[in-house]
Amino acid sequence: MEAGIAGTSRRRFLAATGAGSVLAAVGPRLVDDSTSPGTAQAQAAPSTKIVKNICHQCPARCGIDVYVTDGRVHAIYGTPDHPISNGKLCPKGPLGIYVLYDPDRWKGPMRRTNPKKGREEDPKFVPVSWDEALQMVADRLNALRERGESHRFAILYGRGWGASCAGLLGTFGKLYGSPNIPIGHSSMCSDGSIIAKKATDGNAGYNAHDYRNTNYILMFGCGFLDAFRPYNNNMQVWGYIRGQKSPKTRVTAVDVHMNTTLAAADRALLIKPGTDGALALAIAHVILTEGLWERSFVGDFIDKENRFKTGQTVDPTTFEEKWVKGLVEWWNIELKDRTPAWAAKVTTLRERDIVATAREFGRTRPAMAIMERGAHAHSNGIYNAMAIHTLNALVGSLFAEGGLMYQMPPPYGSLPANADDYMDDYAKNGPWKQYPRIDLKGHPDGYLLANNMMQEVGPNHLAGKPYKLDTIMFYLTNPIWTAPNGQVWERALQDVFVIDTSPFPSETSHFADLILPDHTYLERLQDAPTYPFEGYPLTQLRVPAVKPLYDTKYFGDTLIEIGKRIKGPMGEYYKKLESAENVIRHLAKGFEKNPGDNGVDSFEKWVEKGVWYKKPYLWRQIRGEFYEWDGKGYNKPMTPEEVKAKLLKTPSGKFEIRSSLLEANADWIAAKTGRNKANLMFPIWEEPKHPGGGDLYLVTPKQALHAEGRGHNIPMVIAHFQPIVGGRGEAFAEIHPETARERGIKDRSWIKIRSSVGEIRVRCRYYEGVRPDTIVLPMEWGHWRGGRWSMAVPGGHSGECTVNQSDRITGQCNYYTTKVFVEPA
């Protein structure tokens, strides 16, 4: 039956695409250019066809054209009429061919026969049929439910793509009855950003950006030209704003080492780890004292006289706030003393650079400040992130042309069945309702305000607090390796039934009891709404380029098939869903009333084009007034109520420098962190806490070829991994030459990196572009289970000496904050 799904869709796809995608022949039948201007054509054999898909190697979701000749995939290019890829690709894109033909893939479902688990234990996997494997899972789940222990089943997921995979998980949890379905990875991703935005402008999401129209970008620890999504489109933007646009967009980039982003920027600020908030506060200080704020958005002193003077408080009644809340209070309680001179001491930057950056940022419109983990993966991350995001409010770039907004979802059709109709008593009122999530997300004892706390699942299960899990299923996540101090997970996963669904062997699969391998992405039919991009709704489709090479199954179908085997109405629900393809066909019905700009109004058209999108973004703030798109322009003025409902979703309907969210939870925050209830709701400066016990900051960034670590078994990635320091064949620790010499470390020699939780060996490279107080080691290799190439790469894994510390408010895992000892190995 599964083969039928792929087979059917493939036939349908072929029928649907017809001449449009099947390439014209060349050579003797070369299309004469005089007769075919603007028509698609290709040099290829008649048997070559192009199949639409989207890349899987980072979250960006670039549309790709997969070239298939005689049943073999041999080339991948960006889809030309796709708004994100525009025919282009980042360095990862073309490497999909290696992912499909990775010789280390699982060839079918596998069952563990060695009950002992550990790094050194051979799992002794034996093949098992899909039917057997799925029934094995269903039997476990039915038994748990019968015992009233359904909360002990958890599904952990990483890169969820769309409604036909991770989108099905929430319903599964609701129908089955477990608070732990699903547990996302966002706290190990960039929740620091999401929660900070929720706290200030009320939108719990990453921003969409209008980079093409901005004249200034201030980047905090986000690797815009290294790994920031959508990397491919960022670079297209870069070519435009730096090489074509008039005026050329100016860029200041802040990070702890000289990466490609900083190298390409107009100004590189090598900041002390965890102090980005201090820099943002000083910039805000200059913007206010020098009167550079956007009055149409922020508001102004009633008499227009600027009373923001360093060190002096301001009478709040003299200032009339427009779309911000708490500006003057913030000034009085925090900002008045946050001078560039003060920030220079905290950040180690030059005062003159801070002032110059502030003036440029404050005087250039449109300008935007963007940030990710470099800035907020610290104990003070919420405040760093809030301070940076507040800069956007000060210069009025929220929802403005050349500014930031939030991503609209696609108008999907509804599923074949309504889950609420299939809830049995157990689902509605079963004993599972009384249990908190295993990661204590949303629990006062844990992380009350967090979205997810995946990094806590292993340690909490190990400790049996709040309880022990029985079964864990993993989808596109490998926290036993990616979580900080993953050694704890190695102990935790010994006494729990582990199901892995990755197509590839990994540390998780090494601890797995059952492996239900997914297709690789070029074999899948899978939907994926866009990651935050330019705001307007966009969703795309993976269409199988080839029949699955092995006996694998799309995760969406695996989940549906398990669902069908659960007793009671839940099983009926999944029988109604039928298959992932059926789900996707129902999703596509939403396009009938909402045809995309490229004419996609059906499943078949979606398969042909690979993408549905509808421009423009519907709202815009223009000089302090909000307007809605009326079909021709941003002409329809919005009321404050509409702005609150659609854009600034805070209780006040304004950008809250004084955060209602934090204020409402001030007691809990103060109790758990010892912060002062008087100012903890503002973007304040707080010294970060650096665990680990060492004397050098360990920072473990992504590289262009790394993204989400899907490339660790690709030889071409290994060969081109870390170009600035010549990381060919391995990941080098970047160490400042003086720092190295003080410790008797030679260039290119092996070193030991040690913290309170572990020790690793890697090779180092001298690099003048890294801070002397910091050691930079890309988090990529040191895999002790994976593919043949990945395991052959020398050097240890940064996670083994990264302490598991999280921002108590955002839940953000503090990947870049551990301090380590470094010595010759």
Contact set for other proteins, span 24-63 (CB under 8 A): 26-27, 30-34, 36-45, 48
Shortest Cβ 784–other proteins spacing (Å): 17
Shortest Cβ 41–other proteins spacing (Å): 6
Phi, psi of 111 (to 5 degrees): -120, 140
- Rounded Cα distance between 753 and 291, Å, is 47
Contacts with other proteins, 764-803, as mask; x by CB under 8 A:
---xxxxxx---------------xx--x-----------
Give residues 688-707 in contact with other proteins (rule: CB under 8 A). 704-705
Which residues lie below 8 Å from residue 813, measured CB to CB, with a gap of 6+? 187, 188, 377, 455, 483, 484, 804, 805, 806
Should residue 258 be labelled a site residue for other proteins when binding is judged by CB under 8 A? yes
Which residues lie below 8 Å from residue 671, measured CB to CB, with a gap of 6+? none
Can you tell me which of 718, 735, 760, 813 binds other proteins, judged by CB under 8 A? Answer: 718
Give residues 197-256 in contact with other proteins (rule: CB under 8 A). 225, 231-233, 235-236, 238-240, 242-243
Position 495, amino acid:
D
Q: Which long-range contacts (CB under 8 A, 24 or more apart) does 622-629 make?
A: 622/400, 622/401, 623/296, 623/297, 623/396, 624/294, 624/295, 624/296, 624/297, 624/322, 624/323, 624/396, 625/296, 626/399
- Rounded Cα distance between 273 and 687, Å, is 11
Give residues 557-596 in contact with other proteins (rule: CB under 8 A). none
Nearest Cα to Cα of residue 284 among 350, 246, 348, 334: 334
Shortest Cβ 5–other proteins spacing (Å): 24
**H-run or E-run covering 300:** strand 299-301
Should residue 503 be labelled a site residue for other proteins when binding is judged by CB under 8 A? no
Should residue 75 be labelled a site residue for other proteins when binding is judged by CB under 8 A? yes
Which residues lie below 8 Å from residue 723, measured CB to CB, with a gap of 6+? none
CB-wise, 80 or 205, nearer to other proteins? 80
CB-wise, 297 or 789, nearer to other proteins? 789
Shortest Cβ 481–other proteins spacing (Å): 21
Give residues 642-681 in contact with other proteins (rule: CB under 8 A). none
Can you tell me which of 719, 741, 746, 824 binds other proteins, judged by CB under 8 A? Answer: 719
- Other CB atoms within 10 A of residue 246 CB: 4
CB-wise, 258 or 469, nearer to other proteins? 258
CB-wise, 469 or 724, nearer to other proteins? 724
| Secondary structure (DSSP) of 60-122 | T--EEEEEEETTEEEEEEE-TT-TTTTT---TTGGGHHHHHT-TTS--S-EEE-----STTS-
Shortest Cβ 790–other proteins spacing (Å): 11
Shortest Cβ 358–other proteins spacing (Å): 19
Instruction: Say how far residue 189 (Cα) sits from the centre of its chain.
Output: 5
| Contact in structure between 591 and 602 (CB atoms under 8 Å) | yes
CB-wise, 26 or 356, nearer to other proteins? 26
Secondary-structure percent of the chain, ordered helix, strand, coil, rounded to 5? 35, 15, 45
Nearest Cα to Cα of residue 610 among 541, 532, 693: 541
CB-wise, 89 or 779, nearer to other proteins? 89
Shortest Cβ 188–other proteins spacing (Å): 25
Helix 381-394 to helix 276-289 angle, to the nearest 10 degrees?
30
Give residues 100-159 in contact with other proteins (rule: CB under 8 A). 100-101, 103
Give the 3-state secondary structure of residue 244.
coil
Shortest Cβ 599–other proteins spacing (Å): 16
- Rounded Cα distance between 235 and 206, Å, is 19
CB-wise, 23 or 809, nearer to other proteins? 23
Q: Which stretch binds other proteins (CB under 8 A): 19-27, 304-312, 422-430, 815-823?
A: 19-27
Q: Which stretch binds other proteins (CB under 8 A): 98-106, 119-127, 203-211, 442-450?
A: 98-106
Shortest Cβ 17–other proteins spacing (Å): 16
Can you tell me which of 724, 733, 745, 775 binds other proteins, judged by CB under 8 A? Answer: 724
- What is the phi-psi region of residue 382: left when phi exceeds 0, alpha when psi lies from -120 to 50, beta otherwise? alpha
Instruction: Say how far residue 642 (Cα) sits from the centre of its chain.
Output: 29
CB-wise, 603 or 781, nearer to other proteins? 781
Which residues lie below 8 Å from residue 633, measured CB to CB, with a gap of 6+? none
Q: For residue 532, what is the DSSP state?
A: S
- Rounded Cα distance between 31 and 763, Å, is 54
CB-wise, 87 or 568, nearer to other proteins? 87
Give residues 261-290 in contact with other proteins (rule: CB under 8 A). 262-264, 268, 270
Q: Which stretch binds other proteins (CB under 8 A): 157-165, 298-306, 667-675, 725-733?
A: 725-733
Should residue 725 be labelled a site residue for other proteins when binding is judged by CB under 8 A? yes
Question: Residues binding other proteins: what is the number (CB under 8 A)?
Answer: 85
CB-wise, 568 or 715, nearer to other proteins? 715
Shortest Cβ 520–other proteins spacing (Å): 12
Shortest Cβ 433–other proteins spacing (Å): 49
- Rounded Cα distance between 413 and 592, Å, is 9
CB-wise, 93 or 694, nearer to other proteins? 93
